[in-house]
Amino acid sequence: MAKRAIVLANGSVEDPVALRERLGALGESEVIAVDGGSLHASSLGLAIDVLVGDLDSLRPDLAASLRESRTRLVQAPPMKDETDLELAVLDAVQRGAEEIIILGGVGGRLDMTLANVLLLLHSRLAGVRVELWHGWQTAMLISPPQGSIRGEVGDTLSLIPLAGDARGVTTSGLEYPLCGETLVAGPARGISNVMTEPVATVQLREGHLLGIHTPGRA
């Protein structure tokens, strides 16, 4: 498979025009649709290579069309411990994806949105760059020892602790710097920082941070 996978989840797609522009800048990618997420493919100008899920959210006519095409079908039973998105992401990793971009992972059900964000912590995704795109916004996991975020001077970057406190956090390229500090889970201290350089670097000794990049002043 391609080293990059684009995964279409069954949430809302914010600003498909922006997403088409972002996708157009990418190289070769495999497109994986998650059940009803296949409905987003046409608006994003994508052809589906793989369909994953129990197919409970898929229109019968579309399911039949995909079966007749060259789309690879990975059907899961309705009764399972994983979400369809989790199965799709793990399928991509198993087949060698080094980068995964998730679209449609936000919106609709609040519980599913939170589960999709927390999926970034999955142990089998260690070493794989996973991003969650929502329009022009990008969310990614930052783990020890460090991570970097590319953007423009003046863009907004929020750092949110996941699964507990993040310790030994040191940043560069941000208006409000941190130097070996702790971002405690709960308080909103890491929200709405501002990039002062095209690349911001975040180092941390312990824990995990959710980095959310938004172009311009949010």
pTM: 0.91
- Pick among 3.40.630.10, 2.60.120.320, 2.60.40.4070, 3.10.20.30: CATH of 141-214: 2.60.120.320
- Is the pLDDT at 80 greater than 90, yes or no? no
Q: What is the pLDDT of residue 57?
A: 64
Q: What is the pLDDT of residue 178?
A: 96
**DSSP structure string for 79-135:** S-SS-HHHHHHHHHHHTT-SEEEEES-BSS-HHHHHHHHHGGG-GGGTTSEEEEEET
CA angle 55, 59, 63 (to 5 degrees): 60
- Is the pLDDT at 214 greater than 90, yes or no? yes
When pLDDT is cut at 50, 70 and 90, the band that residue 108 belongs to is: confident
- Pick among 1.10.3720.10, 3.40.50.10240, 3.40.50.300, 3.40.630.30: CATH of 4-135: 3.40.50.10240
- Is the pLDDT at 128 greater than 90, yes or no? yes
Q: What is the pLDDT of residue 4?
A: 94
Compute the average pLDDT of residues 51-62.
72
Least confident of 27-41, 117-131, 202-216: 27-41
Class of residue 25 by CB neighbours under 10 A (exposed 0-12, middle 13-18, buried 19+): exposed
Q: What is the mean pLDDT of the chain?
A: 90
Compute the average pLDDT of residues 103-118.
91
Domains of the chain, by residue range, sit at 4-135, 141-214
% of the chain exceeding 70 in pLDDT: 93
Q: What is the pLDDT of residue 207?
A: 96
Q: What is the pLDDT of residues 140-168, one digit of tens each?
A: 999 999 999 999 999 999 999 998 999 99
When pLDDT is cut at 50, 70 and 90, the band that residue 66 belongs to is: low
Q: What is the pLDDT of residue 74?
A: 77
| Terminal Cα-to-Cα distance of the chain (whole angstroms) | 37
Q: What is the pLDDT of residue 63?
A: 66
Class of residue 37 by CB neighbours under 10 A (exposed 0-12, middle 13-18, buried 19+): buried
Residue 16: CB atoms within 10 A of its CB come to 16
Answer with the residue of higher pLDDT: 150 or 65: 150
Q: What is the pLDDT of residue 27?
A: 84
Q: What is the pLDDT of residue 39?
A: 86
